[in-house]
Amino acid sequence: MNKTLLFSVFIFTALGASAQRLIAKDAFIRFYSSTPMEDIEATTNTAVSVLDKTSGEVAFQVSIKNFTFDRALMQEHFNENYLESEKYPKASFQGKLVNPSAVKWGKDGVYSAHLKGKMNIHGVEREITTPVTFTLKSGQILLESTFYVQCVDYNIEVPTLVVAKIAEKIQVSVKTKYVPASK
């Protein structure tokens, strides 16, 4: 083991790390609440995300105000009454792949893995684990994940008047296509 070798290994790792970062400025997030009385859907493709292939870290951030509903009034209520976006303008997730070796970044294919990390919605931070799928195809990376969020877990108060129209568990779907960070 000589100094030069060690040093070059070190430099290489450092350089490698920066090249392994991928970003997305147009990450897609969809909320879906389904009850016998009403289905409510909200979407946005303005979330931002960072993926670090080396460490298996993934982070997301989205402005609550950017979610679009079918009805403008629902959107207003969502911001004003439920998510209180004035007080809590953003939701975020920061986590790591539980089994980073499950994804072979150099090889095309569909890989299933689990993400574990901190979800922050409505000012409440919770530890969550969610299944995630990476689809790799000729240099493109697509992340997909679907999980459920319980309103009570994040102190989101649903008044008794509309309790039949809003599901207790809201389905959240995330779909992100990454591009290299250097761009």
Q: Which residue in the set 8, 99, 129, 140 belongs to the binding site for another protein (CB under 8 A)?
A: 140
Question: Binding marks (x or -) toward another protein, 34..73, rule CB under 8 A?
Answer: -------x-xxxx-xxx-x--x-x-xxx-x-x--xxxxxx
Length of the chain measured in residues: 183
Query: Residues in contact with another protein, total (CB under 8 A)?
Result: 59
Beta carbons within 8 Å of 147's beta carbon, 6+ residues apart:
128, 130, 131, 171, 172
Rounded distance, CA 62 to CA 23, Å? 14
If one counts every other C-beta atom within 10 angstroms of the C-beta of residue 47, the result is: 24
What part of residues 145-174 is at the interface with another protein (CB under 8 A)?
A: 157, 159, 161-162, 165
Q: Which is nearer to another protein, 27 or 113 (CB)?
A: 27
**DSSP character string of 6-33:** HHHHHHHHHHHHHHTEEEEEEEEEEEEE
Q: How far apart are CA 90 and CA 36, in angstroms?
A: 30
Site residues (vs another protein, CB under 8 A): 1, 3, 6, 10, 13-14, 17, 21, 23-28, 30, 41, 43-46, 48-50, 52, 55, 57, 59-61, 63, 65, 68-73, 75-77, 79-81, 86-87, 94, 135, 137, 140, 142, 157, 159, 161-162, 165, 175-177, 181
